[in-house]
Amino acid sequence: MFGRGGVYRVSKEATFGQIPKSNMASSASFFSLVQQPASEFNKSNSLAVDRACSSLSKNSPKPKKIPTGLIDRYRRGETHAVSFLYQLSQVLQFQLEMKETVTTGGVIGFYFAFCAVIDGVKYKTGMGITKKEARAKAAQLAVEELLSNLEIDAALPDASDPPVPEKAQNSLTSDARHGRVKFERKNPVQDQVPSAVKDMFFKLTESYPQFSSCGETVAAFVIKYPNGCEVVAIGTGNYNTKQSLAPNGRILHDSHAVVTARRSLMRYLYRHLLLFYSRNHSLEEKSVFQLDVNTKLLSLKSHITLHLYLNKMPKGAAQMPSHLRLNPLSISAWEVNNQIGLHVTVDGKVFSVFSSTLDQSGSHFISMSATDKITQWQVLGFQGALLSHFIEPIYVSSILIGDESYTEPHGMEIAVNWRVDGITPKLPMYYCVYRPYISLVPSAIATDAHSTQKTLSLNWSQGDVSFEVVDCVEGKSVAESPFKSGPALASRLCKAAMLSRFNLVAKEAQREELLAAVSYREAKMMAKSYQEAKNVMKSYLAMRGYGQWVEKPPISDQLTM
């Protein structure tokens, strides 16, 4: 379906995300995965694939066009918006739910609010003084967004589901380009965002050329306004620390680019929360936040959108081969699950959670792959647990990948969109699957394959005087870093630093109940809706056969307030 600025997709009744894989064998005991004899796996997996192929065969005929008369009647006012939306759901074969929600935009007064949820994706909120009026407005908003991106006579695409067998002998295919809409228009952010990232990275490193090669793997968050865009957070890096987990929160354990950029984004958000709570009108106006009088939470101002740029395809499921083949009668189904399932990173290397080659000694720090973390953030929001005490979930509207070694982003679409397809109704209020526009773009930053600084990570957020350079392996700043927090060289992105900012914002917001928390972990667990959404997401991924989410030991969150 349409993500914001995305491409229309039709939901198939059978996808590999729906094939039961909970009975897969695995020898990675520390993931607490239940082992099962190979014969049982072969039998059940083959049956599951056969069912999927049978279902796909039965349901393969799809409507190719939207009848022009259907739209004409709606345009003439002869068909009610709600009725028309349900008619579209029949013609285009998508799942539709009209869901009651909360009012948005700081509306004062007694209003009802509804939104259309299409194939698990939430559309704009409609409001009215009666439920009927609010439902009609929500349907109208969804219809207009759908029609604005559709050319009536254009052929509909096939679903961008997880890979399914290719139609060749007894096989079907997952060709990423096969389902592309022919009328897809170029999104302006495809040019604006990479250009802004390139300019900012050059500006930052111009005075420190010795650190320019830290940009081998780059991630950046860009805020787009109606009249332009600006980079607000940058991160580079490709490794985890080799240091043991400690309760003081001063070691940076995961320094992969998108993780570093996301923590830099959090620093940016904390800065703008302080502007909002400053009780100074001129400073408050400069904040990117606005108050929702009904939820008492803040949200990004309506004219602002957030975008993520990556100069490399992130590690994990997003890097799956573009033409993955599967014979329903072969054990290669195991390969598919290894590709689209959850992954972990250890010492810069990537392993499937189903892999038997993982080091189970516990002597290395293990984190979820960058792809899996992006999937998580597009469900829970990029703000994290602590910031969710103050703000509604923040999602990115587009993910732009400047990796010239790829010809299409199909793996990213599968990982971010389809693995969590259908989870929205199970999530608590405010949370949903926000399907971003995903596209390949020109590379903004040249990479150096022979760089001697592969274990260094750079971070910066808007408002910083200079960037910080962290030794990924040690988890601390290097002595030569343009910015250093102190003689101990603890990074400004570490948990202790984030906790300090959280306490400062809680004080300015006069949230005494948050200041009463005795530890970092307790403050996170107090974000009950966030924790509920997180548990739902992990259970949902496991239920659909993508594997168990790896949890960090509790000791990493035990630092005190």
Residue at token pair 């420190």: 208
- Judge whether 312 and 403 are in contact, CB under 8 Å: yes
Q: How many angstroms separate the CA atoms of 128 and 140, rounded?
A: 13
Q: Give the pLDDT score at 170.
A: 34
* 3-state class (DSSP) for residue 71: helix
Residues 94-98: contacts with CB within 8 Å, 24+ apart?
Answer: 94/1, 94/10, 94/11, 94/118, 94/119, 95/11, 95/119, 95/120, 95/422, 97/425, 98/135, 98/138, 98/139
E strand spans, 370-516: 398-401, 437-440, 456-461, 468-471, 476-477
C-beta separation of 414 from 162 below 8 A: yes
- CA–CA separation, 200 vs 503, rounded Å? 30
Alpha helices in 428-481 (DSSP H): none
Distance, in Å, from the CA atom of 126 to the CA atom of 425, rounded to the nearest integer, reads 18
Give the per-residue pLDDT at 306: 96
- C-beta of residue 255 within 8 angstroms of C-beta of residue 475: yes
Handedness of CA 362, 367, 369, 373 (dihedral sign): positive
Average pLDDT, the chain: 78
In single-letter form, the type of residue at position 551 comes to E
Half-sphere exposure of 493 toward its Cβ, with a 13 Å CA cutoff? Answer: 35
User: Alpha carbon of 556 to those of 113, 249, 497, 525: distances in Å?
Assistant: 40, 7, 14, 14
CA R_g for the chain: 24
**Both structure tokens of 266:** 């959090």
Q: Which residues on adjacent β-strands are paired with residue 122?
A: 117
The pLDDT score that the predictor gives to residue 547 is 92
Token pair 């014969």 is at which residue?
39
Note the residue count of the chain: 561
The C-alpha atoms of residue 176 and residue 414 are separated, in whole angstroms, by 10
- Whether residue 66 contacts residue 92, with contact meaning beta carbons closer than 8 Å, is answered with yes
pLDDT for position 297: 94
Residues 6+ apart with CB under 8 A from 230: 196, 222, 223, 462
In the three-class reduction of DSSP (H, G, I as helix; E, B as strand; rest coil), residue 171 is classed as: strand
Q: What share of the chain is helix, strand, coil (3-state, %, to 5)?
A: 35, 15, 50
Contact 393, 428 (CB under 8 A): no
CA distance 480 to 211: 10
Give me the pLDDT at residue 16, please: 31
Grouping H, G, I as helix, E, B as strand and the rest as coil, residue 331 is coil
- 3-state SS class at 104: coil
Question: Residue 509 burial (CB < 10 Å; 0-12/13-18/19+)?
Answer: middle
Q: 485-488: long-range contacts (C-beta < 8 A, 24 or more apart)? A: 488/250
Cα distance between residue 114 and residue 133, in whole Å: 9
Q: Which two tokens stand for residue 349?
A: 């290397």
**Alpha carbon distance 266, 235 (integer Å):** 12
Residue 66: helix, strand or coil by DSSP? coil
pLDDT of residue 165: 33
Helix, coil or strand: residue 308: strand
Structure tokens of 458? 């750079």
Contact indicator for 73, 81 with CB cutoff of 8 Å: no
- Domains of the chain from N-terminus onward: 16-58 (no CATH), 68-148 (3.30.160.20), 189-314+377-557 (no CATH)
Neighbours of 550 (CB within 10 A): 18
Residue where the block lists tokens 């950046």: 220
Tens-digit pLDDT string for the chain (561 aa): 333 333 333 333 333 333 333 333 333 333 333 333 333 333 434 333 343 334 333 343 444 467 777 888 888 777 888 888 888 887 888 888 888 887 766 555 557 788 999 887 888 888 887 788 888 899 999 988 888 766 433 433 343 333 433 333 333 233 333 333 333 456 778 889 999 999 999 999 999 988 988 878 999 999 999 889 999 999 999 988 887 777 788 999 999 999 999 999 999 999 999 999 999 999 999 999 999 877 789 999 989 999 999 999 999 999 987 655 344 444 456 666 778 899 999 877 899 998 877 665 555 778 999 999 999 999 999 999 999 999 999 999 999 999 988 888 988 998 998 899 889 889 998 898 888 999 999 888 876 665 667 889 999 999 999 999 999 999 999 999 999 999 999 999 999 999 999 999 999 999 999 999 999 999 999 999 999 999 999 999 999 989 999 988 777 777 776
Alpha-carbon distance values, 10 to 7, 433, 453 (Å):
10, 16, 45
Angstrom distance (rounded) from CA 450 to CA 448: 5
Distance CA 61, CA 369 (A): 37
Residues 365 and 340: beta-carbon distance below 8 Å: no
